[in-house]
Amino acid sequence: MSSTINEKPGQLDDPTSTDIVDPIIQGIRISDLPYPLNPIGAGQVSDWRPLLLSCWSEQRDETVVHLLNSVSVTWTVTQVNSAYMADRIMDAFLETSGLNVVLARQVARLRFFLAWRLSEEGGQALDECLRHWLDSLAEWRGWSDSGGRSSRALLDQLDAMVIAVAASFEQQSLSPFRDFCDQWQRDAQRRAERSVKLRERLLQSESGIARQRRADQTAKAAVGRALANRHLPLAVANFIHDYWLPLMRQVAFSNGVDAAQWRHANKLLEWLVWIGDATLSGGEDERLYQVGEQISDKLADVWTQSMGGAMADGATAAVESVIVARLRGEPLELASTSGNGRFEYDESWLAFSKPSQADVGSVSGRWFVEGSGASEQRRYFFALLEETNEVLWTNGFGVKLGTTSWSDFVEARNKGLLRILPATRQFQDVLRESVIELHQNYQSQLEQRQKAARAAKDQAEALRSRIEAAEARKREELELERREAERAQAEQEQQQREQREAEALRAHRKKDWRPANR
């Protein structure tokens, strides 16, 4: 045992080795488990494989120990402890893996398979095939039961796992399960290669879309702000909507809002509004005349530079006619440009500010979860689309789940609606901790048994000593009694001899005393 224990108490070099696991399965005792009252002979062991297979095929969520208690069968110590160990390991994995509860619950049903293998192979049941497959589930930490295509793909693979494990039960062989693990690994490799390409394409396409969206929203905001609360001739309003809005959208997309072309386009927009709104240009005929002389050329120049071609013939004619009418003092039919339903705009796009790199870096590339339990939804912070300040969410494999504005993202986090997903725990870590705890429990029981054995031995030795002492005293008493009896008998015999001698002496004296004359 010393070869498997580190210098630090309670730590094992390899807690899943047969030297550690097998003694636990054979020797640990847990209260309230259905252990046999008497040893079971080899020919009397109940075959629990069909029962475990039935529960696996039905994908039941009960524990193996509960199953053993639910039937009137006498189970061996190995079966009971294998059931307990399988439940202990898979329950810990279910609670601490960090996987979606639906996924973790389905994987935890492997407890039936694991219990059977532990009873057959002991520590060898915890081989690399099983451990590596369970560890590979960390790739799916962001999986949610959304019912989508990617969600269904994993469930289909797990259905294949159910079939493979059932085949292993029926054939009493690990080959079907190992074949499934090999195929799983090949699929994971292909998925990883495909995901790299999907991520690249997604970021490229979404960045382009974001750039277009920012250009569109910024152009609308600039036009909407310029037209707010204005009354313009319909010809000017139509020109702005039909020509200048598309131009500003193109300028924002191609050159950005910090470029000189954007400033020129925005300035001409202001001149168009000034021309059309008498409250702005009324009483300034000379200036209106000067602007009128130049406006068409300037509009055409900016159009050509920005759009890559000449403006349509007569495009500015309506604007010119408005200027002429204004200079002549002719009445113009005005229309309100506020709330005319032509487009909606958000002026905040004009005050666009980016979050700090530190703030983005602290959350980029991390998993987030919304909701809880079976209804929770997980998403991966793939990138921040800088053009729109939007969080691009994916499923972790390059498939878009949606976008959220940075402000909404921050608000959801502050309200606790969106939480960072804790790191997943590897199955090997869960396995190691579970076995170490069981090993410590078993060692404690073993020490208690050894202590009890020593105490029983000491009690037996003390009893033997007391019995021997009592027997010795009894022998001494008997010896004393024997010696006393011998002494008494010797004294009696001595007295009898002395009496006989005295009687003989008296008889002799009496004979010698008779008178001689007689």
Task: Determine, yes or no, domain membership for 509.
Answer: no
Does one domain contain both 162 and 80? yes
Final residue before a domain boundary, out of 403, 420, 437: 420
Task: Determine, yes or no, domain membership for 496.
Answer: no
Summarize pLDDT for 226-267 with one digit per residue, the tens: 998 888 999 999 999 999 999 999 999 999 988 999 999 999
Number of H helices, E strands in the chain: 18, 7
Does one domain contain both 141 and 234? no
Nearest to 118 by CA among 22, 47, 42: 22
Nearest to 140 by CA among 177, 172, 186, 188: 188
Does one domain contain both 253 and 289? yes
Does one domain contain both 262 and 166? no
Q: What pLDDT is recorded for position 382?
A: 96
Task: Determine, yes or no, domain membership for 457.
Answer: no
Q: What pLDDT is recorded for position 341?
A: 54
With helix as H, strand as E and coil as C, how does 102-129 read?
HHHHHHHCCHHHHHHHHHHHHHHHCCHH
Q: What pLDDT is recorded for position 67?
A: 96
Does one domain contain both 322 and 288? yes
Summarize pLDDT for 380-399 with one digit per residue, the tens: 999 999 999 999 999 999 99
Percent of the chain scoring above 90 in pLDDT: 62
Does one domain contain both 31 and 173? yes
State the residue range of the domain holding 327.
229-337
Q: Checking DSSP bridges between strand 334-336 and strand 367-370, what pairing results, if any?
A: unpaired
Task: Determine, yes or no, domain membership for 433.
Answer: no
Residue ranges, the chain, pLDDT below 70: 1-13, 15, 338-343, 512-518
Does one domain contain both 153 and 271? no
Average pLDDT, the chain: 89
Side-chain half-sphere exposure of 286, counting CA atoms within 13 A: 0
Does one domain contain both 170 and 253? no
Q: What pLDDT is recorded for position 4?
A: 37
Task: Determine, yes or no, domain membership for 166.
Answer: yes
Does one domain contain both 132 and 190? yes
Q: What pLDDT is recorded for position 338?
A: 62
Q: What pLDDT is recorded for position 511?
A: 73
Does one domain contain both 236 and 325? yes
Rounded to whole angstroms, how far apart are CA atoms 43 and 113? 23
Does residue 257 contact residue 211 with C-beta atoms inside 8 Å? no
Summarize pLDDT for 478-513 with one digit per residue, the tens: 888 888 888 888 888 888 888 888 888 888 777 766
Q: 370 φ, ψ to 5°?
A: -125, 135
Summarize pLDDT for 294-318 with one digit per residue, the tens: 999 999 999 999 998 998 988 899 8
Does one domain contain both 322 and 362? no
Residue 414 burial (CB < 10 Å; 0-12/13-18/19+)? exposed
The domain tally of the chain equals: 3
Q: What pLDDT is recorded for position 175?
A: 95
Rounded to whole angstroms, how far apart are CA atoms 462 and 287? 125
Does one domain contain both 333 and 365? no
Task: Determine, yes or no, domain membership for 89.
Answer: yes
List 380's β-bridge partners, or say none.
Answer: 367, 394
Task: Determine, yes or no, domain membership for 182.
Answer: yes
Final residue before a domain boundary, out of 304, 337, 370: 337
Final residue before a domain boundary, out of 392, 420, 448: 420
Task: Determine, yes or no, domain membership for 290.
Answer: yes
